């Protein structure tokens, strides 16, 4: 009869098992990871709200709203989360920071021009 014995060791990045207490280093790492995930969730939520505002303002799809946020972020050299916060705030009080306002108007104008431009002209000419 074959007996199986466990010789596998716990990976260093895995939490402690079998009632072992995690080391102080791993506790700190876990706390840091939890804080990082909490910040990511908060950023994701504000970006989702901003996309909703842009969907309403521009009558666009969620993908287009995300593309607008990315464009404004890249062209203004501002983090997407900060752009999203400004869009949500503008929806509430009508005030948008001037630099972001300029970039948002440009992104919306470009989207509108792209949406109204004939995209099938090459297919129609052939």
Q: What is the mean pLDDT of each run of 10 residues along the chain (126 residues)?
A: 45 53 76 91 92 95 95 94 95 88 91 60 39
Can you tell me whether residue 101 is helix, strand or coil? Answer: helix
Distance CA 49, CA 84 (A): 8
Rounded to two decimals, the pTM is 0.64
Look at residue 89 in the predicted model and tell me its pLDDT.
Answer: 94
Per-residue confidence (pLDDT) for residue 16, from 0 to 100: 53
Q: Which distant-in-sequence residues (6+ apart) come within 8 Å of 100 by Cβ? A: 72, 76, 78, 83, 86
The candidate with the shortest Cα–Cα distance to 79, out of 122, 40, 112, 106, is 40
What is the model's pLDDT at position 116? Answer: 45
pLDDT given at position 6? 43
Q: Return the pLDDT at 126.
A: 38
- Give how far Cα 81 sits from Cα of 28, 36, 56, 84, 85, Å: 26, 14, 19, 5, 6
Q: Which residues contact 85 (CB under 8 A, 6 or more apart)?
A: 46, 50
**Residue 87's CB: how many other CB atoms inside 10 A?**
25
């Amino acid at each position: 009869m074959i007996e199986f014995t466990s010789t596998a060791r716990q990976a260093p990045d895995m939490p402690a098992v079998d009632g072992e207490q995690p080391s102080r280093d791993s506790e700190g790492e876990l706390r840091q990871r939890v804080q990082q995930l909490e910040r990511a969730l908060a950023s994701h939520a504000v970006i989702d709200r901003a996309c909703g505002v842009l969907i309403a303002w521009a009558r666009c799809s969620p993908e287009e709203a995300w593309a607008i946020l990315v464009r404004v972020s890249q062209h203004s050299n501002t983090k997407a989360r900060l752009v999203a916060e400004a869009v949500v705030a503008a929806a509430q009080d009508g005030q948008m920071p001037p630099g972001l306002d300029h970039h948002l108007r440009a992104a919306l104008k470009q989207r509108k021009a792209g949406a109204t431009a004939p995209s099938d002209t090459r297919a129609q000419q052939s």
